[in-house]
Amino acid sequence: MDENTRKYYIETYGCQMNVRDSELMAGVLRKEGYTAASSPEEADLILFNTCCVRDHAEKRLMGNIGALKELKDEKPSTVIGVCGCMMQQKEVSDRFFRRFRHVDLVMGTNSIASLPDYLMRISAGYRVNAVTGINEDVVEGIPSVRNLSHSAFVNIMYGCNNFCTYCIVPYVRGRERSRRSEDILREIRSLADAGYTEITLLGQNVNSYGNTNGDIRFPELLARVNGVDGLKRIRFMTSHPKDLSDRLIDAMAENSRVCNHVHLPMQSGSDRILKKMNRHYDLNRYTSIVDRLRSTVKDVEITTDIIVGFPGETEEDFTDTMAAVERIGFASAFTFKYSPRPGTAAAGMEDQIPEAVKAERLKRLNALQNRKTKENNEKYAGYTGEVLIEGFDSKNSSVAFGKYTNFKMVYFDREGAEIGQYRTVTADTVRNNSLRGHIQHDND
Ligand code: SAH
Ligand code: SF4
Ligand code: F3S
């Protein structure tokens, strides 16, 4: 390889939106002649794609950026950039730009296509603070380098209009904007032609797709994606319970390539707290969606997000959450301690919950969910289904892992299978909370 080729290293924090944005930045850089570096030390350009959804993400980032000062002192030509959601908070990016003099570039979530211009200015000796507005038009046609060659994220919409009172996303990702269905389908067709078999449609609230641009609605979009030859699995996230329609549940049942999994954040099991969160549903509505999904979509699994210690959450509210988790039986759950985000409504609410109480509630909730995960796993003894192979056990590469259509992960003897391939796997036992199985051969 040409020794003069410049190299990039991108460190990504946060959700799939950021993962996808990093793929686009990689594509833009590749077009500029860069190649991927395998470590920050080897790179000429280091980019941090940041998240600010919880405090934890910020602290980690600060430590990592601070640590790069040494690298920059040793090799001053290294360009260091920070982008993504956290930088989209103007006061944070300005403070950041002033404080970390070894950072050459700060930019937000909407200027990926302008990256080459910023780099040109930096090579002319400037530092660049280029955070732009959050409601920019959808830009099509940005090149990208995808992380995987069998499974792809496809954005269907950007931003969020929901303003859940705890959440910073609407402030850093702007108003909801849907991509045109023709553009989405064109992208998916070309992915299928390139050999991709699994597609995950991405949006903060995919169920409201098409609301803003008068395009087809989400169930119809799913049906059209289902018609793309070559695809085997269509996934989507995230679903908001307030917009999850019966029509969508029917579309999941009717379209054979649409996977039987829904990530459906419940956030709380207390109606009082759900109201304070501005979620626009109550527990009754939530459980009725779950019931309908289970009676309509075969072997469906439901995963969720839950926040503990939202302002004003009493022991009784928390007990409601525990009871809901006990009753619903999620396949798995991401659980979080409420983290006040500057500028959000909940950050200014009275009755903020002490850290120790949040920690104690989180511990109880996790213990319950671990038990529920295990209980749920028990029903898989003897279950047979197709698995998409995602990787190999880091300690034993003869063991592969992958997911059933409903998102349940299973480990099994690899038998020569490669990442991206499909195998029929029968689950046998539950070990350390995960499913163990074996590849099923036709004549077994
Ligand atoms: N758009 C998605 C989720 C976005 S953020 C949705 O609406 O479901 C992912 C998860 O982070 C949320 O579901 C929520 O559980 C959690 N989260 C968001 N803001 C938070 C905060 N301030 N403190 C703790 N958890 C938070
Ligand atoms: Fe945040 Fe709510 Fe929007 Fe999800 S729906 S991104 S939790 S404001
Ligand atoms: Fe974080 Fe931005 Fe996603 S704040 S969770 S990376 S939309």
As a whole number, mean pLDDT of residues 177-187 equals 96
14 lines ligand 3 (CB under 6 A): yes
Q: Got the DSSP string for 257-270? A: TB-SEEE---B-S-
Condensed to tens digits (0 to 9), the pLDDT of residues 193-231 reads 999 999 999 999 999 999 888 899 999 999 999 999 999
Specify the CATH architecture of the domain 384-439: Beta Barrel (2.40)
Classify domain 146-259 at the CATH topology level: Transcription Regulator spoIIAA (3.30.750)
Residue 262 sits at φ, ψ, to 5 deg, of -130, 125
| Residue 432 in this model has a pLDDT that exceeds 90 | no
Intervals of CATH 2.40.50.140 along the chain: 384-439
Nearest ligand 3 atom to the CA of 51 is: 1
Report the distance separating Cα 267 and Cα 270, nearest Å: 9
Q: CATH 2.60.40.10: does it fit domain 7-130?
A: no
In terms of Cα–Cα distance, which of 86, 85, 110, 168 is closest to 338? 168
Peptide bond into 197 cis (omega under 30): no
Intervals of CATH 3.40.50.12160 along the chain: 7-130
53 lines ligand 3 (CB under 6 A): yes
Residue ranges with strand state E in 134-265: 151-155, 157-158, 177-178, 198-202, 233-237, 261-263
CA neighbours closer than 13 Å in the CB half-sphere of residue 36:
12
Separation of CA 242 and ligand 1 centre (Å): 15
As a whole number, mean pLDDT of residues 311-328 equals 98
As a whole number, mean pLDDT of residues 381-388 equals 96
> In the prediction, which pLDDT does 434 show?
87
Task: Please say whether the beta carbons of 113 and 139 come within 8 A.
Answer: yes
As a whole number, mean pLDDT of residues 235-260 equals 97
Separation of CA 133 and ligand 3 centre (Å): 16
* Pairing between β-strand 128-130 and β-strand 105-107 as defined by DSSP bridges: parallel
> In the prediction, which pLDDT does 59 show?
76
Mean pLDDT score across all residues of the chain: 94
| Residue 443 in this model has a pLDDT that exceeds 70 | no
Residue 407 pLDDT grade (very low, low, confident, very high; cuts 50, 70, 90): very high
As a whole number, mean pLDDT of residues 279-289 equals 98
Record the pTM: 0.95
Residue 444 pLDDT grade (very low, low, confident, very high; cuts 50, 70, 90): low
Report the distance separating Cα 118 and Cα 126, nearest Å: 9
* Pairing between β-strand 384-392 and β-strand 434-439 as defined by DSSP bridges: unpaired
| Residue 260 in this model has a pLDDT that exceeds 90 | yes
Bridge partners (DSSP) of residue 435 are: 410, 430
Condensed to tens digits (0 to 9), the pLDDT of residues 72-81 reads 999 999 999 9
Intervals of CATH 3.30.750.210 along the chain: 146-259
In terms of Cα–Cα distance, which of 11, 38, 24, 181 is closest to 109? 24
Quickly tell me which residue has 């996790």 as its tokens. Answer: 366
Look at 91-95, 161-165, 170-174 and tell me which has the smallest mean pLDDT: 91-95
Residue of 306, 307, 337, 361 best suited for mutating to test ligand 1, as the one with most atoms within 8 Å of CB: 307
Nearest bound ligand to the CA of residue 87:
3
Q: Which residues does ligand 1 sit against, CB inside 6 Å? A: 53-54, 166-167, 169, 204-205, 238, 240, 265, 267, 305, 307, 336, 338-339, 341
Q: Which helix (H) or strand (E) holds 122?
A: helix 115-123
> In the prediction, which pLDDT does 2 show?
54
Condensed to tens digits (0 to 9), the pLDDT of residues 104-124 reads 999 999 889 999 999 999 999
Residue 372, both tokens: 């529920």
Quickly tell me which residue has 């109480």 as its tokens. Answer: 357
Condensed to tens digits (0 to 9), the pLDDT of residues 1-30 reads 455 699 999 999 999 999 999 999 999 999
In terms of Cα–Cα distance, which of 93, 92, 102, 129 is closest to 40? 102
Report the distance separating Cα 49 and Cα 22, nearest Å: 7
* Pairing between β-strand 399-403 and β-strand 409-413 as defined by DSSP bridges: antiparallel
409 burial level (CB within 10 Å; 0-12, 13-18, 19+): middle
As a whole number, mean pLDDT of residues 239-250 equals 96
Residue 147, both tokens: 């992380």
